[in-house]
């Protein structure tokens, strides 16, 4: 892929918080990173995969087929796995209790489900799979995981989604109480994005000039 100006990355999301996280990490690639809305793309995507990776691939490839030549489409699927709930809500994290239900209600419900459960059984993790669909038809994926425990109460104003109930022992607070910069360093999406950035860096690296022949 030559000429960075010919290419764009379209990230298949309408979530402003997620786009901020994405741009902080992928900005180093030196090519424009657009949301679906910014790219003028709208699509209803049926996420019927059985894993985070499958859902990310479905989203990326669906949007890739609607984009201009040369665009790369990235999509993620992420969720919260709570061990005490046998991995739920898992791939259904966004749809847990209904997609239109606010996360304050969802978070309160999960805290209540774990009422009285000791800390050693409150283990959980955020998982993120990211897929990149290339113009030539092939797709790659990366994965990131952030381990923690479910908090006893909702805490913090930063972040989004389930962050206010996800306690990070190494910080002594929830992922909604750390800064966006700290979160990018340790988050599941940050890890998956950095792994994807590493995969893509070679594609957008400017070719080195061959040394001139001395004659």
Q: What SS3 string covers 131-198? A: EEECCCCCEEEEEEEEEEEECCCCCCCCCCCCHHHEEECCCCEECCCCCHHHHHHHCHHHHHHHHHHH
All structural domains of the chain, each given as residue ranges with its CATH number in brackets, are: 4-204 (3.90.950.10)
Confidence (pTM): 0.86
* 34-65 pLDDT tens trace: 999 999 888 888 889 999 999 999 999 999 99
**Residue 76 designated active-site:** no
pLDDT (0 to 100) of residue 177: 97
Cα dist from 83 to 54, 66, 124, 189, whole Å: 22, 38, 6, 20
* 55-99 pLDDT tens trace: 999 999 999 999 877 899 999 999 999 999 999 999 999 899 998
C-beta separation of 26 from 9 below 8 A: yes
Number of residues in the chain: 215
* 100-119 pLDDT tens trace: 999 999 999 999 999 999 99
Q: Out of 69, 71, 76, 77, which one is annotated catalytic?
A: 77
- Categorize the per-residue pLDDT at 1 as very low, low, confident or very high, splitting at 50, 70 and 90: very low
- Categorize the per-residue pLDDT at 208 as very low, low, confident or very high, splitting at 50, 70 and 90: low
Q: If you average pLDDT over every residue of the chain, what do you get? A: 90
Query: What DSSP string describes 30-58?
Result: -S-EEETTTTT---------SSHHHHHHH
The three-class DSSP label of residue 124 is: strand
* 127-154 pLDDT tens trace: 999 999 999 999 999 999 999 999 999 9
C-beta separation of 9 from 1 below 8 A: no
């Amino acid at each position: 892929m030559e000429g960075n100006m010919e290419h764009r990355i379209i990230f298949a999301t309408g979530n402003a918080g997620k786009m901020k996280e994405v741009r902080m990490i992928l900005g180093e690639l030196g090519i424009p990173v657009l949301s679906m809305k910014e790219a003028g793309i709208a699509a209803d995507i049926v996420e019927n995969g059985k894993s985070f990776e499958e859902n990310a691939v479905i989203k990326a490839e669906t949007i890739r087929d609607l984009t201009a030549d040369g665009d790369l489409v990235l999509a993620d699927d992420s969720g919260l796995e709570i061990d005490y709930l046998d991995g739920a809500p898992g791939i259904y994290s966004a749809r847990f209790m209904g997609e239109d239900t606010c996360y304050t209600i969802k978070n309160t419900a999960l805290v209540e489900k774990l009422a009285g459960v000791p800390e050693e059984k409150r283990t959980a993790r955020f998982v993120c799979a990211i897929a990149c669909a290339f113009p030539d038809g092939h797709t790659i994926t990366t994965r990131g995981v952030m381990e923690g425990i479910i908090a006893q109460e909702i805490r913090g104003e930063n972040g989004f989604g389930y962050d206010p109930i996800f306690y990070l022992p190494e910080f002594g607070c929830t992922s909604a109480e750390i800064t966006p910069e700290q979160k990018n360093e340790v988050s599941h999406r940050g890890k998956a994005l950095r792994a994807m950035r590493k995969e893509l860096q070679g594609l957008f690296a400017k070719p080195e000039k061959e040394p001139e022949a001395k004659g």
